[in-house]
Amino acid sequence: MQSAELGSILVRLLLIIIGARIAGYISEKLKQPAVLGELIAGVILGPSLLYVVNPDEPIFVFLAALGAIILLFIAGLESNIYQLMKVGRAAMFVAIIGVIVPMALGYFYFIFTGHSTTVALFVGGTLTATSVGITMRVLSELGKTKTEEGKIILGAAVIDDVLGLIVLAVVVGIVATGHVSLFNVFKLTAYGVLFLVGSIYIGIKYMPKIYRLVHEFEIEKTFVIAAFIFALFLAIIANWIGLATIVGSFAAGLILERAEHKEHYYERMKPVADLFVPIFFVMAGAVMNIKTLFDLQSLLPIIFITLIAIVGKIVAGLGAYGTKANKFQIGLGMIPRGEVGLIFVAYGLSTKVIDAHLYSLLVVVVMLTTFVTPPLLAAFMKKGKKEKVKRIADVS
Amino acid sequence: MQSAELGSILVRLLLIIIGARIAGYISEKLKQPAVLGELIAGVILGPSLLYVVNPDEPIFVFLAALGAIILLFIAGLESNIYQLMKVGRAAMFVAIIGVIVPMALGYFYFIFTGHSTTVALFVGGTLTATSVGITMRVLSELGKTKTEEGKIILGAAVIDDVLGLIVLAVVVGIVATGHVSLFNVFKLTAYGVLFLVGSIYIGIKYMPKIYRLVHEFEIEKTFVIAAFIFALFLAIIANWIGLATIVGSFAAGLILERAEHKEHYYERMKPVADLFVPIFFVMAGAVMNIKTLFDLQSLLPIIFITLIAIVGKIVAGLGAYGTKANKFQIGLGMIPRGEVGLIFVAYGLSTKVIDAHLYSLLVVVVMLTTFVTPPLLAAFMKKGKKEKVKRIADVS
């Protein structure tokens, strides 16, 4: 690599990281998640406007893929598999309805508008997964993570991620084999479930022993290297059996969350994530072609798909029937698609299932679901709090 | 990027990181620095043997360059510019002699054996810089960092790094312009000194203000991102004015060492370094072609250059004249070339000044200087301690 070439790559890397931080900061000041700013930074730096970032350049594509792997690893590390299993029927139903309804609505909308089965499946899949990060942030800002609604939303969002990853695994498998058959869907669902359940079961059962051994070697460096090796290893296995790499790193995170020194893994991997994850979002924004969005042909599908995405999740709130929780609030909490949705569409584009135009539409939909949630949730949750206070006042 | 391609890159990245850690661990068990093991891991994984790592693949070349930038940033962060200036005459003389003598001996040996001026300059430059890391590790294992000898060695080693980087800047500049003139050498030395002195002066004077501002924005993520941006920024400036990128990141480290929260920068960048620095050493090993070393034509130069490298630094110990410190021990402590030497040769190869064969020879020389130092230093320093104890016993 010549010195000028290295310099040019370093300059673009610097612009991506600076752009992501500035845009992320502005969007946080506007009470929006940093992710939105990072996507917009990508649009500005990408071919749509400045063209300093080429979304096809292998080094940045690879760094972005690494960012997605690390992102899902951290998401796994922040979840708790036992709490997930305990959070009960309500969260499970909310999650399942929240996957099936948007998936089905999205699928039929796209079949109805004349697209192929695989495209329709991919769009449906994009609409399934809830962004745990965005919802968790809004809830904790409102001090609502410990309420009945908060617990159900968080539990359902994590289950949603798992279900979303299984859907992704199935859809990717169908794309690879080129045809949809009931047997295929069944096989791939089984693959996805088996991989997640199997790796997590084996991981949690045997990892403590293996890791105690690893840490006897060289404690100082081992946490970050062990975590990275483990995330990469399961990402590679997942990739190898035809699942997405992020399914593997998410499983790795869930397993290490059960390890003895999970806080050390988290502490050491967090700075690595802080550096690499924004690269993924900037690249996701850079791939967007905003020029194709400024016409009626784009506006209509965006509105429809966004409505499907919102309605599908509000309906999911009904899954909490039988509890005292406010179903509407739960539905609102499930709206943001965020990271997993973006990973879905990025995957669809890289495997050429969806084209650049549809990719851009879907990224806008993901951004819209993320935009609307914090204000909606804040408005309706504060209302909920006031009602509660009133009721207590009535009783006393 | 197709899924199979991503998978293949991830597998190789995983092998590099696992190989580096295993070999690093073994070499630490054998009382050798981890760096040696990582180089050997590179030889094994590279084209010399297994060929799972292609040393010309852009993504890994880039990750290695990033590793070198982060390595020198951390080295800067671990140095202290004021202590360096205070450590006095002795360390300064040891450093200067330790740069001039090996440089001159190496230069004349290569001119004498019929090489071009630029090649001779590059080899001379490779022999200048002392590895602070290796020496510091051995000294601290012997509990000798606070002795007169220890202080002078550490001070001189850091000054050596700075001088080595200036020499690199000059040599790179000469290679770029294609001819050696006194004016050129003067200009490039001035560039190197001005860049280091200027950036460090400006950095230390104004950075606290700028950084207090930066941290008001978003404290949690800012440390690692700010450090990375700063290291990249000065690396790019250095690259732009014709110096090596690592000169810039070293200056960035020296500046941030003076910042208010330097321990946070260090803590957050350390895991990133733990992941990326081994990639640099593995790639440096992978570029070696061990097949070309197994003949008499290679053996002789290796022995000669290694002797020059060792003798040149032992002579440097005389720079401590006028102090009570043991000059021979100081000379021994200055022998290991380590990281900066490797960066030197890697740079020479990438700019095509030296060929693959000479590159391999020089890496072996760097490895040999690193191999011999810990046992030598341990043997002669322990002897020194015993003598001291005897003297105290005599007095009492």
Cβ distance B119 to B107 under 8 Å?
no
Which candidate from A11, A17, A268 shows the least CB-CB separation from B225? A17
Query: Residue with structure tokens 């190197």?
Result: B192
- Please give, one letter per residue, the 3-state secondary structure of A253-265: HHHHCCCCCHHHH
Single-letter code of the amino acid located at B96: I
CA-closest candidate to residue A330, choices A339, A346, A319: A319
CA-closest candidate to residue A250, choices A75, A65, A66: A75
B contacts of A275 (beta carbons < 8 Å): 224-225, 228, 272
* Residue B384 pLDDT: 46
pLDDT tens digits, A341-370: 888 888 888 878 888 889 999 999 988 888
Q: Is residue B306 part of a domain?
A: yes
Lowest mean pLDDT among A6-10, A104-108, A175-179: A175-179
Q: Is residue B4 part of a domain?
A: no
- Interface of chain B against chain A, CB under 8 Å? 1-3, 6-7, 9-11, 13-14, 17-18, 21, 24-25, 28, 58-59, 61-62, 65, 172, 217-218, 221, 223-225, 228-229, 232-233, 235-236, 239-240, 245, 268-269, 271-272, 274-275, 350-351
Cβ distance B195 to B166 under 8 Å?
no
| Cα of B153 to nearest chain A Cα, Å | 26
- Interface of chain A against chain B, CB under 8 Å? 1-3, 6-7, 9-11, 13-14, 17-18, 21, 24-25, 28, 58-59, 61-62, 65, 172, 217-218, 221, 223-225, 228-229, 232-233, 235-236, 239-240, 245, 268-269, 271-272, 274-275, 350-351
Partner-chain contact B239 A351, CB within 8 Å: no
CATH number of the domain that residue B291 is part of? 1.20.1530.20
Q: Is the pLDDT of residue A74 over 70?
A: yes
Task: Give the whole-angstrom CA distance, residue A389 versus residue B153.
Answer: 70
Partner-chain contact B350 A3, CB within 8 Å: yes
Q: Which residue of B has its CA nearest to A13?
A: B232
Helix/strand/coil for B145: coil
Domain tally, chain B: 1
A contacts of B350 (beta carbons < 8 Å): 1-3
* Residue B328 pLDDT: 93
pLDDT tens digits, B19-51: 999 998 898 888 777 888 888 999 999 998 999
Q: Is residue B369 part of a domain?
A: yes
Partner-chain contact B1 A236, CB within 8 Å: no
Q: Which residue of B has its CA nearest to A238?
A: B7
Reading chain B (396 residues) residue by residue, the pLDDT tens digits are 667 788 999 999 999 999 999 998 898 888 777 888 888 999 999 998 999 999 889 999 999 999 989 988 988 888 777 766 666 688 889 999 999 999 999 999 999 999 888 888 888 888 988 876 667 667 776 777 778 888 888 788 877 877 887 787 777 777 777 666 777 677 767 877 888 888 888 888 887 777 676 666 665 567 899 899 999 999 999 888 777 788 889 889 988 888 877 888 899 999 999 999 999 889 988 888 787 777 778 888 999 999 999 999 999 999 988 888 899 999 998 998 877 788 888 888 887 888 888 999 999 998 888 878 877 887 887 644 444 433 333 333
How many Cα atoms occupy the beta-carbon half-sphere of A120 within 13 Å?
15
* Residue B108 pLDDT: 94
Cβ distance B114 to B353 under 8 Å?
no
A223-242 residues labelled b (16+ CB within 10 A) or e (exposed): bbbbbbbbbbbbbbbbbeeb
* Residue A84 pLDDT: 65
Structure tokens at B100: 């001039």
Mean of per-residue pLDDT scores for chain B: 83
Where is pLDDT greater, at A74 or B184? A74
Task: Give the whole-angstrom CA distance, residue A127 versus residue A164.
Answer: 9
* Residue A389 pLDDT: 38
Task: Give the whole-angstrom CA distance, residue A113 versus residue B239.
Answer: 53
Cβ distance A285 to A40 under 8 Å?
yes
Query: Considering just the CA atoms, what is the radius of gyration of chain A in Å?
Result: 21
Q: Is residue B330 part of a domain?
A: yes
Contacts of B223 (CB under 8 A, 6+ apart): A271, B261, B264, B265, B267, B268
pTM of the shown model: 0.83
CA-closest candidate to residue B316, choices B99, B85, B144, B84: B99
* Residue A303 pLDDT: 92
Q: Is residue B148 part of a domain?
A: yes
Lowest mean pLDDT among A262-276, A314-328, B12-26, B138-152: B138-152
Cα–chain-centroid distance for residue A221?
29
pLDDT tens digits, A281-295: 899 888 887 777 777
Q: Is the pLDDT of residue A263 over 80?
A: yes
The neighbour count for residue B355, using CB atoms within 10 Å, is 13
Which candidate from B13, B62, B218 shows the least CB-CB separation from A232? B13
| Cα of B224 to nearest chain A Cα, Å | 6
ipTM field: 0.83
State the distance between the two ends of chain A, measured CA to CA, in whole angstroms. Answer: 75
Mean pLDDT of the A94-116 span: 92
Q: Which residue of B has its CA nearest to A240?
A: B7
| Cα of B132 to nearest chain A Cα, Å | 19
Q: Is residue B323 part of a domain?
A: yes
Task: Give the whole-angstrom CA distance, residue A365 versus residue B184.
Answer: 58
Partner-chain contact B2 A235, CB within 8 Å: no
| Cα of B321 to nearest chain A Cα, Å | 39
Task: Give the whole-angstrom CA distance, residue B301 versus residue A174.
Answer: 60
Full domain range(s) for residue A368: 3-395
Q: Which helix (H) or strand (E) holds B6?
A: helix B3-29
The neighbour count for residue A258, using CB atoms within 10 Å, is 16
Q: Is residue B228 part of a domain?
A: yes
Q: Is residue B30 part of a domain?
A: yes
A contacts of B229 (beta carbons < 8 Å): 14, 17-18, 21
Q: Is the pLDDT of residue A313 over 60?
A: yes
A contacts of B21 (beta carbons < 8 Å): 218, 221, 225, 229
Cβ distance B73 to B250 under 8 Å?
yes
Dmax of chain B from CA atoms?
77
A contacts of B228 (beta carbons < 8 Å): 17, 275
> Where does residue B276 fall: left (phi above 0), alpha (psi -120 to 50 degrees), or beta otherwise?
alpha
Which candidate from A14, A235, A268 shows the least CB-CB separation from B271? A268
Contacts of B288 (CB under 8 A, 6+ apart): B39, B42, B43, B46, B48, B359, B360, B363, B364
How distant, in Å, are the alpha carbons of A248, A338, B41 from that of A239? 8, 22, 26
> Where does residue A79 fall: left (phi above 0), alpha (psi -120 to 50 degrees), or beta otherwise?
beta
